[in-house]
């Protein structure tokens, strides 16, 4: 790469989505059709979120957003939805210190609306009201993850 091309990339950072895909998806409705009966109260819904990123090439990265939503009525599982939704991103021109925030905040922020729609459609198609997952603060999630990594580094001997 020429010096001019390197300077141009640095002056014009870009983030492009090359592909999006469902990596893994599961919807379970173990108590159907009884689980579809009217209820006096809303079920307890637990949602967990995880983000992983792996390099594919010098500027290409695979980012996977994992969502798990489980609804329970007491100790009975009404439904369980698990989704791993990925995207291949081409990231150029960002300083090295910005790469982790781009991968773990911006990329999942772009993937989230699509993953949310898949979960919503699956719960509706499973006979339940559509589960509309609230927006996720990926910046807070990233900050928490970095803090946990720093604690682990301090606790583990060199």
Distances (CA, A) of 128 to 35, 81, 121, 125: 9, 12, 10, 7
Give me the pLDDT at residue 122, please. 97
Q: For residue range 122-143, list pLDDT tens digits in order.
A: 999 999 999 999 999 999 999 9
Cross-strand partners of 47:
69
Tokens, residue 46? 């637990």
Q: For residue range 72-125, list pLDDT tens digits in order.
A: 998 999 999 999 999 999 999 999 999 999 999 999 999 999 999 999 999 999
Q: pLDDT above 90 covers what percent of the chain?
A: 73
First-residue to last-residue Cα distance in the chain: 38
Give me the pLDDT at residue 36, please. 80
Q: For residue range 145-156, list pLDDT tens digits in order.
A: 888 888 888 876
Q: pLDDT above 70 covers what percent of the chain?
A: 91
Tokens, residue 45? 């819904």
């Amino acid at each position: 790469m020429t010096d001019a091309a390197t300077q141009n990339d640095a002056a014009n950072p870009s983030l492009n989505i090359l592909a999006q895909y469902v990596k893994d998806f599961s919807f379970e409705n173990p108590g159907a059709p009884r689980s579809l009966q009217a209820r006096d109260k809303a079920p307890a819904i637990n949602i967990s979120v995880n983000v992983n990123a792996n390099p594919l090439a010098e500027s290409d990265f695979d980012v996977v957003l994992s969502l798990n939503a489980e609804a329970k009525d007491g100790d009975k599982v009404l439904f369980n939805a698990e989704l791993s939704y990925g995207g291949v991103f081409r990231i150029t021109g960002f300083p090295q210190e910005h790469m982790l925030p781009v991968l773990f905040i911006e990329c999942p922020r772009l993937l989230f609306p699509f993953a949310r729609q898949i979960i919503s459609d699956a719960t509706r198609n499973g006979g339940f009201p559509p589960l509309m997952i609230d927006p996720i603060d990926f910046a807070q999630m990233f900050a928490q993850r970095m803090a946990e990594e720093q604690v682990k580094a301090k606790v583990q001997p060199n």
